Amino acid sequence: MGKDVRESDADVLSGAVGVGLIGFGTIGAGVAKVLRDNASVIEQRLGFPLRLARIADLDLETDRGVDVSGIVFDRDTEGLIADPAVEIVIELIGGYDVARRFMLAAIDAGKHVVTANKALLALHGAEIFAAADAKGVDVAFEASVGGGIPILRSLREGLAANRIESLHGIMNGTTNYVLTEMEKTAEDFDVVLKRAQELGYAEADPTFDVDGIDAAHKLALLVGMAFGAKLTYKEIPTEGIRGLTPVDFEAAEEFGYRFKLLGIAKSRSEGGEERIEARVQPTLIPSDSLLAKVDGAMNAIAVHGNAVGPTLFYGAGAGELPTASAVVADLMEIAREIRRGRAGRVAPLSYAPGELREKPLVPLGELEGRYFLNFTAADEPNVLAHITGALGEHGVSIESVLQKRSGEERGSVPVIVLTHPAREAHVRAALEAIDALEDVTAPTRLVRVEEEL
């Protein structure tokens, strides 16, 4: 090892910036591949090379399909962090506790950190960014949102002149794959999920993805970057896609919409106070919108700025090489700033995480829009009259109704209603009354419609 450190020292003198990788799984292997395969283009763009000096992982045996010769590869994470040949530490082990400890240790050692760990930042971001601020090092995390899509950079730099008005993002490839398949095949959620697991599009435990938690992690980071608002993912109302059934997709198509699991955030200023609307939910969006065309495991984030108007950023939201593309972009930015001799935070943030401010959230009851309501009702003559009557009593008027006579459960039928624009509090009050009706046999499913895309 002593020999390798000496080689690394030579590199520092000759201009290479040394990098250490903690976590040699799928993304870690991708980073090693990109650094190796694209070494010449990286050096051309930077003016000097990046050198992967060390890798630390518990598993030293598995073949990752990438040549690690010349790289110190062991289990010694502390040694990696302390190694003077390592100027930037890449954290790619994921999870909360161990990753947090390694990241704080790297910061404490004065190392810049690049990570893809949205879960950790969405929960412990405040602590980590404060530590980085105190040490004058950077924590870059482009890979944590939208995989290879440079969405954080675009908010931070390209759209920096804008007051961001709204974000609508397909930010989880697993759920987008499942929704696309359900729409295409008219199969049940469980059937499609099982196939997605077999094909490697979904994890054995799909909770984080299908319940919207992963998207909420990412939305929390986007909200900070776009609105300067301090928000942890736990504050974001989050709903997954488990409840959707083939009849929902059939009705949506008839109404001219498609289902997407969206992370949505908007800034609302009224009377001088800015409030943030943030939620993760299955959403109906117009079939002819660009976001509706994003199929399979791809991601896209639509951003509306007050100067630029509507924009959209599309690409692979996960995967070995796309995620590595974002990690290495962060490495390049930090490395360039290191060579420029800048000591402080190197990646200027549109809003530095340390400067995020608490901003009140808009309660869901205040939302206004069309609502897609799927009632499970007894197959009785008057049920539609009861439902529409209760909606009317709460001031919710109906745009379209679809009543299916082919409910699978004997004696119960789905009744699907698309409302005219209404206030969510009124819709919810109506649903409370309707779900208490004798001929409504299961809780009503409410899906919000977003038109302005």
Q: Which residues bind a copy of itself (CB under 8 A)?
A: 30, 34, 37-38, 41-42, 44-45, 142, 148-150, 153-154, 157-163, 228, 288, 290, 293-294, 300, 305-316, 319, 321-322, 324-329, 331-333, 336, 340, 342, 348, 350-351
- Exposure string over 128-148, b if 16+ CB within 10 A, otherwise e: bbebbbebebbbbbbbbbbbb
In sequence order, which residues have a C-beta less than 8 Å from that of residue 190 and are 6 or more positions away? none
In sequence order, which residues have a C-beta less than 8 Å from that of residue 267 and are 6 or more positions away? 163, 164, 165, 166, 226, 227, 274, 275, 276, 277
Nearer to a copy of itself, 200 or 381 (CB): 200
Nearer to a copy of itself, 166 or 238 (CB): 166
| Partners of 358 in the β-ladder | 230
Residue 89 beta carbon to a copy of itself: minimum distance, rounded to whole angstroms: 17
Whose CA is closest to 268, among 168, 370, 166, 159?
166
Residue 6 beta carbon to a copy of itself: minimum distance, rounded to whole angstroms: 28
Residue 341 beta carbon to a copy of itself: minimum distance, rounded to whole angstroms: 9
| Backbone φ, ψ for residue 24 (5° rounding) | -110, 55
Nearer to a copy of itself, 140 or 430 (CB): 140
Which of left, alpha, beta for 122 (phi over 0: left; psi -120 to 50: alpha)? alpha
Nearer to a copy of itself, 206 or 322 (CB): 322
Distance CA 90, CA 51 (A): 13
Residue 3 beta carbon to a copy of itself: minimum distance, rounded to whole angstroms: 29
Distance CA 450, CA 453 (A): 7
Residue 12 beta carbon to a copy of itself: minimum distance, rounded to whole angstroms: 21
Q: Is 218 among the residues known to form the active site?
A: yes
Residue 51 beta carbon to a copy of itself: minimum distance, rounded to whole angstroms: 15
What is the residue-wise DSSP string for 342-366? Answer: --S--S--SS-GGG-EE-PBPPGGG
Catalytic one of 218, 230, 266, 359? 218
Q: For residues 35 and 42, is the Cβ–Cβ distance under 8 A?
A: yes
Nearer to a copy of itself, 174 or 419 (CB): 174
Nearer to a copy of itself, 143 or 391 (CB): 143
Distance CA 170, CA 146 (A): 8
Residues annotated as part of the active site:
218
